[in-house]
Amino acid sequence: MMARIKVLISHYHEERALADAWKELLKSTSLGVIEAWYSSDSHAAGGMTIGIEWRDQLHEKLAESNFILAIQTPTSAGRPWVMWECGVASGIDKERGIIPIIYSMKPGELANPISSYQLYQGEDENQVRQVCERLTMAADLHPEAHVYTEPLKRYFNAIKLYRPRKAIHPEQIEIWRDRFEKLIQSGRVNEIFAMRQQMYASLGKPFNPVDPSVHELLSKILLDQGYFQDVIEEVDYALKLLDGDTVLLYRKALALVELHNLPEAKTVIDEIISRNETLRLNSEFASLQGRFYREQWKLTDNPQDLDAAIEAYYRAYQADKTQYYPGVNAATLSLTKGDTELATQIFQDVLKVCQQLQQQQIVSYWVDFTVGEVYLGLGDVEAAIAEYKKGLSRTPPPPSRDRNSALKGVRRVVNAKKLPNENVTNIEAILKQ
């Protein structure tokens, strides 16, 4: 008489593909006598049942299981969820067999209580077969050797689609971070992108980050260089270890806006603000909102989007007037809307702030460029040109990407003020010297 065997596959949710591969393998090699179950199974009659308290349901599944297959990879090794399931299963009456299946790691690399059981390599055909034989024998089944051939072939094809990468040691990341920092210190930032490609060729991609600092560093540099899709990738890596970090989320939203992926950008912006409503007054985050609505207005021509952009920029400026850039954006957009009174008021206010900043010992070229933009908004083209020339003479001088950014501001205010296009041409020639 065949004994029906029940197996619970304990796994990290993101590795459910491995759990599913085992479920199909055990079902095939036992002709359905072995019943495998895992919590995230999306197939009919699989996984958790909606409407039933999950703890009660899981305890029931653990209690009725004969064996627990514990999937362990460099990502999931030591995950509390897998540890808990194995601990509960072992503690019910200590009659359940715990069978750890490891991927992309050697037995000595599994440093948790599960390592005390006999380990099986999930990528080794002989060891996978041994697990199948152990379970079929428990079910009083003794299939011929050829019965395993096709199920094993399907199993290995399935795990090829989800092969966990080997663990990356912190020392490897430290070496790469040191290489990036040396490029930065030697003024060779333009080589970062190529060095990044070399890093992923060496470490493989995707992989599980062990230190978010290198991804944080790369995301910042790549944003400056305009590699926006790569910025998002680096931010997502860093967020795996720094979940909810608002600076990283800001950087991701900015990259999404640059890529004109406005729906996803709004989702990220809303997430940032939902974490702390006071960020609505933060100059960086409020300006990000303004930038989003400005780009959306360009697409929709909806006056409500224009009003929302002005409100966000002006809110940021009112919260901290030393942050002059949201002020000049609010003024330019007010000019675009036709509200010349508000635009003039903001331009004059920003001018006073920037002129005070110009009296300091160290002055950024952005202050001069902003004064130039203000003079354009007030219609004084000659004064504007003098300010752009002043900005170019600062130490350090503005890099080409910042000159291009300043030129975009020139174009916006010239269009809003309806100045002759030759003004753009003249200032463009100055900024590209």
3-state secondary structure 231-287: HHHHHHHHHCCCCCCHHHHHHHHHHHHHCCCHHHHHHHHHHHHHHCHHHHHCHHHHH
Model pLDDT for residues 207-250, shown as the tens digit of each residue: 667 788 999 999 999 998 999 999 999 999 999 889 889 999 99
Question: What are the residue ranges of CATH 1.25.40.10 in the chain?
Answer: 168-275
- The whole-angstrom separation of Cα 399 and Cα 396 is 9
- The CATH class that applies to domain 282-433 reads mainly alpha
Structural contact between residues 322 and 355, judged by C-beta atoms closer than 8 angstroms: no
CATH architecture of 5-160: 3-Layer(aba) Sandwich (3.40)
Q: Which residues contact 353 (CB under 8 A, 6 or more apart)?
A: 321, 322, 324, 327
User: Quick one: 358 exposed, middle or buried, by C-beta within 10 A (0-12, 13-18, 19+)?
Assistant: middle
Model pLDDT for residues 170-200, shown as the tens digit of each residue: 788 889 999 999 999 998 999 999 999 999 8
CATH architecture of 168-275: Alpha Horseshoe (1.25)
Average pLDDT of the chain to the nearest whole number:
88
The identity of residue 48, as a single letter, is M
103: its two tokens: 């991927």
Specify the pLDDT at position 47: 58
Give me the helix-helix angle, 262-275 and 283-300, nearest 10°: 150
Residue 189, number of CB atoms within 10 A of its CB? 15
Specify the pLDDT at position 257: 97
Cα 431 to Cα 187, 260, 320, 400, distances in angstroms: 22, 26, 29, 9
Specify the pLDDT at position 109: 83
- The whole-angstrom separation of Cα 65 and Cα 327 is 65
> At residue 50, does pLDDT exceed 90?
no
Specify the pLDDT at position 181: 93
> To the nearest 10°, the Cα dihedral for 418, 372, 350, 396?
150
Model pLDDT for residues 273-313, shown as the tens digit of each residue: 998 889 999 999 999 999 999 999 999 999 999 999 999 99
Specify the pLDDT at position 228: 97
pTM: predicted TM-score of the whole model, two decimal places = 0.66
The dihedral built from the CA positions of residue 151, 156, 160 and 163, taken in this order, carries a sign that is positive
- The whole-angstrom separation of Cα 433 and Cα 85 is 67
- The whole-angstrom separation of Cα 8 and Cα 138 is 15
